[in-house]
Structure 1
Amino acid sequence: MPDMQKQSTGPQSKAEEGNPKKPPANHHPAWRYFGAPVLGIAITFGGLALAIGSGTNAAVSAGVLGTPGTYTVSDCYDTDHRSHHSSYECEGTFRSDDGTSSSFDAALDEAQDYPADEKLRVRENPLGSGDTYRETGLWPTLFPVFLAGVGLVFLGLGLSVFKQMKAPKPTKPATPRNASDKLTVTQAIGMTGGLIALLDVVVALIAGLVRLVMFLV
């Protein structure tokens, strides 16, 4: 009887020897205690800064923040002399709608190659250094909204990195409710940012199509 048991367990033992179980993969301590925290901090705070800065610029261009007024262009010049790319900066004067504020050395954020004496509807940018202003309207608002969405995506990724830093512990299987809560905490910000960026692209495409149709008609 013992001989039969040995014979029956022999093939199984050989199979186990041929396919040994792999030990669970563990991150290197240097990555866990240095690399992951640095990466998580960089992605998290980079995404947060991008979301806040771009969100503020979007609010200014949408007419929610800043003092409204008229910007008169004095001169615009290209700061990037590469043939395939142009980045313009403009100088001019600003006068608020209520007449209480004015500036004769005003800079325009994200400018285009406007001719001299061009008048633009702008708002004062609270994040700018000195007298800086942003155009208002749909097109000046779309790009910072897209960047704000991208910033939220990176913020969500950074938080996910911090979550992965936790050492695995033998716990009871999470209930469906707990799993849903974890998904919301670690991924909702990133998913929201991705949705904002996607909707922004859709709005830009529709607005561009409408502009093209109006130009052709």
Structure 2
Amino acid sequence: MKRAVGWVCGGILALVTAFWCVTATADLALSAGVYGTPGTYKVDTCVNTSNTRKNSDYNCYGDFTRVGGTAADAVYVHLEDTGHDYPDGTEFDARQGLEPHTIQRVGFWGIVGELWQVSVCVAVLGCLAYQAIKPRGASQRRESHSRQPSRRQQVADRMGYAVVVAIPVGILSWIAMAAEPTP
């Protein structure tokens, strides 16, 4: 029974994380300039929507103008949870996704802002995969050094390596976001 509950909880966590990973990866690709319409986002105003003093949740309102467009072509866009209280009138390079209201900051800071989410997803999915793939009882017994590890153990080890890489990447992107100068 305990094992079945673990599998169900792990499955639910994997589905939620996989959904988050897909959306975060799409945002990362937009920030990296893989797809979308290039342009400039000009902030009209930013508002802190958090009820606490410790945590800030900034929503910004402004206009996106595609490259080669005029002020008449600008699209009004509401950005949720930007992480920054941009001063009024701030402009930064951005890309518009398939939906007109999907805007992501491009360049190094845009990529760093999205990279931590992908890293967390990879770490969680890697841990879940490791737990699901590793041979049962592998942690209790030590395999002989002369014997080659099983194919299943080799795949589980690769999932562990993905976690070992994803965690520092996520931590470094959080540090870079904290050090980011506001435009």
TM-score range, shorter chain: 0.7 to 0.9
Paired residue total: 173
Aligned 8 A contact 1:147 1:197 in 2: no
Name the aligned partner's letter for residue 153 of structure 1.
A
Aligned 8 A contact 1:36 1:161 in 2: no
| 1:38 positional shift | 0.8
Q: Of the candidates 91, 105, 124, which is equivalent to residue 96 of structure 2?
A: 124
With structure 2 as the length reference, what TM-score do the two structures score?
0.73
Structure with the larger helix share: 1
Note closer, same or farther for the CA distance 1:40–1:200 as it changes in structure 2 (3 Å cut): closer
Note closer, same or farther for the CA distance 1:102–1:159 as it changes in structure 2 (3 Å cut): farther
Match of 1:6 in 2: none
Listed as ranges, the matches of 1:135-174 within 5 Å are 135-163=105-133
Match of 2:39 in 1: 69
Q: Aligned partners of 2:77, 2:60: CA distance in 1, in Å?
A: 8
Q: Of the candidates 88, 105, 123, which is equivalent to residue 58 of structure 2?
A: 88
Q: Aligned partners of 2:33, 2:5: CA distance in 1, in Å?
A: 42
Q: Aligned partners of 2:111, 2:55: CA distance in 1, in Å?
A: 21
**Identity in percent:** 21
Per-residue CA deviations over 1:50-91 (Å, capped at 9, x if unaligned) read 332222222222222322111111221111131111111111
The question of 1:114 aligning with 2:86 is answered yes
Instruction: State which structure, 1 or 2, has the greater radius of gyration over its C-alpha atoms.
Output: 1
| 1:45 positional shift | 1.9
| 1:178 positional shift | 4.9
Aligned 8 A contact 2:59 2:81 in 1: yes
With structure 1 as the length reference, what TM-score do the two structures score?
0.64
Aligned 8 A contact 1:150 1:193 in 2: no
| 1:202 positional shift | 4.2
Q: Of the candidates 18, 21, 40, which is equivalent to residue 48 of structure 1?
A: 18
The question of 1:37 aligning with 2:20 is answered no
**Structure 2 stretches lacking a partner, 5+ long:** 138-142
Aligned 8 A contact 1:89 1:107 in 2: yes
Per-residue CA deviations over 1:126-149 (Å, capped at 9, x if unaligned) read 5xx651211122223224212212
Alignment RMSD (CA, Å):
3.5
Q: Aligned partners of 2:87, 2:105: CA distance in 1, in Å?
A: 15
Aligned 8 A contact 2:96 2:102 in 1: yes
Q: Aligned partners of 2:67, 2:158: CA distance in 1, in Å?
A: 41
Q: Aligned partners of 1:189, 1:132: CA distance in 2, in Å?
A: 32
Q: Aligned partners of 2:100, 2:124: CA distance in 1, in Å?
A: 29
| 1:39 positional shift | 1.8
**Structure 1 stretches lacking a partner, 5+ long:** 1-29, 168-172, 213-217
Aligned 8 A contact 1:71 1:122 in 2: yes
Note closer, same or farther for the CA distance 1:116–1:76 as it changes in structure 2 (3 Å cut): same
Match of 1:105 in 2: 76
Q: Aligned partners of 1:79, 1:67: CA distance in 2, in Å?
A: 29
Note closer, same or farther for the CA distance 1:147–1:204 as it changes in structure 2 (3 Å cut): closer
